Each structure stands twice: as C-alpha cells, then as structure tokens.
Amino acid sequence: MADFASEGGHWYKWGGIPYYTYLNKQGVECNVTLREARKVNAFPSFSEILKMYPAHQLEKWKRDQAIFIADENPRGELEGKQAYADRIQALSAERGKAIMDLGTKIHGDIEKAMVDTVWIPTPEAHAAIQTLGDWAGHCCWRNEKSFAHRLGYGGKCDAHKSCEHSGEFLVDFKSKDFGEDWFPAIYDNHTMQLAAYREGFGLGKAKCAIIYVSTKVPGLTRLVEASESQLQHGWEIFKATLNLWQVKKKYVPKFEEINGAHQYALT
C-alpha cells in the first residue's frame, strides 16, 4: 500500500495560508492541534478529514508487513511472548518510517524538479514530470498551492493547471512499491482527494489523475486517470466524511466572505 500524502494533519487559515505549527507559552514550536485551530478559525486538511474514513487496505498492508517481519525475525528461545511482540512492533514501526521517509524524499525531488530548471532530477522525479507532461502538457503548471474552502476544509495540491488551450488538470503524486508485473489502481480515498482538491481550487471541470512513482524500480511510473463518475462518487463520499468529522469534533470553521470573495481562496 504505502501511499503517503504531503499534508497529513495540517491546517489552513482563511485564504489557504498554511498553519502547521505554533509557538507554545514556553516558546517551543509545536504541531497545531484542534484546540489551537479553534482559536484562529483554521480549516482542517483533507488528510485530517480522511482519518474518519475506514482505511481497510492500509490496515491490511500494515498487518501484512508485521507478518513478513515476524517471519524474517523468529522468536528467540528465551524471549517471552510480550517481549517478542514488542520487538516485532518496533521493527514494523522502523520499516514503516523508512518507507515514509523514502516517499517524502521522492515527493520532494519531484517538487524541486518542477521549479528548479538547473537541478538534475532523480530518475523518479524525471519520470514523474515526463509522465505529467505526456498526459497534459508541460506548461502552465502550478505546484504546491493551498486553499481553504467554504465547506470547512483546506488542502495543498501537488500540481494543477488551468489553460484556455488545453483545459484544466489536477494531479497528485504517490510513491508505491510496484514493478512491471503489477500496477496500482485508484481507490475511493484517491478519488475523494482529487475531487476535494478540484472543488477547493474551483476547477470543477478539471481532469484528475494519480501518478504513481515506483519505489522498487527507479524511473517507473503509472498514471491512473479518474473518470468523471469516480470523481463525483468521491466528492459525495468526501462530503459525508467531512460532515462526520465536523459532527464528531463539534467544529466547523467559519467561512469569511470578504469583498465578494469566491467560495475558495488560494496562496
């Protein structure tokens, strides 16, 4: 599984201004929590909302990894059951962090490749950018832009564009362990994300896709475009999940209508 987003647990102020950390009374920088978000009317990120949605495939992936690690690391003759369980869990957490760190690095390399014309991109970044260009052209792209939406959520998109000649497009990059013999598909959480971002940026007609970047084969990518029916379905699921989050947390950020502003705002 191992799909890693870039904005997990983040918050956004009105206007799409990122609000990820704050200084506590001791002057220490801390991650923003719901308690702090309430004070400034911050909007939760898509990834925060997604925590309310069952992640069956991700949980199965985690269980599978724990089983694989246990198979690779047998229980010692004098090792108690709990000690063994603790050791396997620690090893699982260590492997999970390594995979996440690799995904973060690949994502960062892609972002740098999109803005730095001098830097020589890694095979993963080069392939991702080439796949993006082959799908929708190489010009007019805006990357890592954020928004806050009137329904009470925010987000940051990997890349999107609106061109009068070629149309509107939105894409999200995800790292995944796959090879030539198997390609990943698109799931409900992906169409939810794409639909939420499309609405957030006011790109109601945009074509949307996930570009998977292999962590197994350098330079191997797979683009999966979501159909309009999938995006509409994803949007309905997301709205229901957002409503559940707001009811559960007892918090709905207030939308500020400033000088006739649109239903979304970008940075």
What letters, b where the CB count within 10 A reaches 16 and e where it falls short, cover 88-118?
beebbeeeeeebeebbeebbebbbebbeeee
Q: Specify the pLDDT at position 261.
A: 44
In sequence order, what DSSP letters do the residues of 52-103 get, joined into one string?
A: TS--HHHHHHHHHHHHHHHHHSPPPTT--HHHHHHHHHHHHHHHHHHHHHHH
**How far is residue 144 CA from its own chain's centroid?**
11
Per-residue confidence (pLDDT) for residue 118, from 0 to 100: 79
The SS3 of residue 207 is strand
The span from the CA of 211 to the CA of 132, in Å, is 8
3-class state of residue 14 by DSSP: coil
C-alpha of 112 from chain center: 17
Rounded Cα distance, 17 and 27, in Å: 22
Q: Which residues contact 199 (CB under 8 A, 6 or more apart)?
A: 149, 235, 264
Domain ranges of the chain: 11-266
Instruction: Report the pLDDT value the prediction gives residue 69, as an integer from 0 to 100.
Output: 96
The per-residue pLDDT for 170 is 96
d(CA 3, CA 221): 14
What's the pLDDT at 138?
Answer: 86
**Amino acid 47: pLDDT:** 93
CA 219/CA 221 separation, integer angstroms: 6
What does pTM read for this prediction? 0.86
Report the C-alpha gap between 95 and 188 in whole angstroms. Answer: 26
For residue 250, what are the CA distances in angstroms to 12, 35, 81, 242, 247?
A: 18, 11, 41, 12, 5
So what CATH class is 11-266? alpha beta
Helix axes 81-115, 56-72, angle to 10 degrees: 120
Q: Which amino acid is at 96?
A: G
Q: What average pLDDT values come out for the chain (267 residues) when binned by 10 residues?
A: 45 91 90 93 95 87 92 94 96 92 93 85 94 91 88 93 87 94 90 96 94 95 97 97 97 68 45
Q: DSSP 3-state assignment of 235? A: helix
